[in-house]
Amino acid sequence: MKLCKYLPLAALCLLPTAVSATPSTQIWIPSTDVQKYKSVHLNVDNYISSSKESGGTWKAPVFMIGPTMGIFEGAKLKAEAGFDIMRAGAAADSSPLYLNAKVGAPAGAYFANSPAFAAGIYNLGTNQDTTAQNVVYALGAKALPGIGRLSAGYYVGNSAVLVDEKGKSANNGVLLSLDRAMTEVSDKLWAAIDYQSGRSSLGALSLGASWAFTPSTSILFGYDFYNNTKVTGKNTFTVQVDINLW
Q: Per-residue pLDDT for the chain (246 aa), expressed as one digit of tens each?
A: 444 333 333 332 333 334 444 568 899 999 999 999 999 999 999 999 999 988 888 888 999 999 999 999 998 999 999 999 998 877 677 889 999 999 999 999 999 999 999 999 999 999 988 889 999 999 999 999 999 999 999 999 999 999 999 999 999 999 999 999 999 999 999 999 999 999 999 999 999 999 999 999 999 999 999 999 999 999 999 999 999 998
CATH at 203: 2.40.160.40
Assigned domain for 2 exists:
no
Which of 89, 25, 31 lies closest to 63, judged by CA?
Answer: 89
Q: Is residue 160 part of a domain?
A: yes
**Domain span including residue 145:** 11-244
Dist CA 183 CA 157 (whole Å): 37
Predicted confidence at residue 21, as pLDDT, reads: 47
* Assigned domain for 3 exists: no
Phi and psi of 66, rounded to 5°? 180, 160
DSSP secondary structure letter of residue 229 = H
What total number of domains does the chain contain?
Answer: 1
Residue 123 identity (one-letter amino acid): N
Question: Does the residue 73 lie in any domain?
Answer: yes
The dihedrals phi and psi of 44, each to the nearest 5 degrees, come to -130, 110
pLDDT at 204: 98
Please state whether the predicted TM-score (pTM) of the whole model is above 0.85.
yes
Q: Is residue 156 part of a domain?
A: yes
pLDDT of residue 20: 47
d(CA 102, CA 119): 6
The CA distance from 165 to 183, in Å, is: 42
φ/ψ region of 32 (left if φ > 0, alpha if ψ in -120 to 50, else beta) reads alpha
6 domain-assigned: no
107 assigned to some structural domain: yes
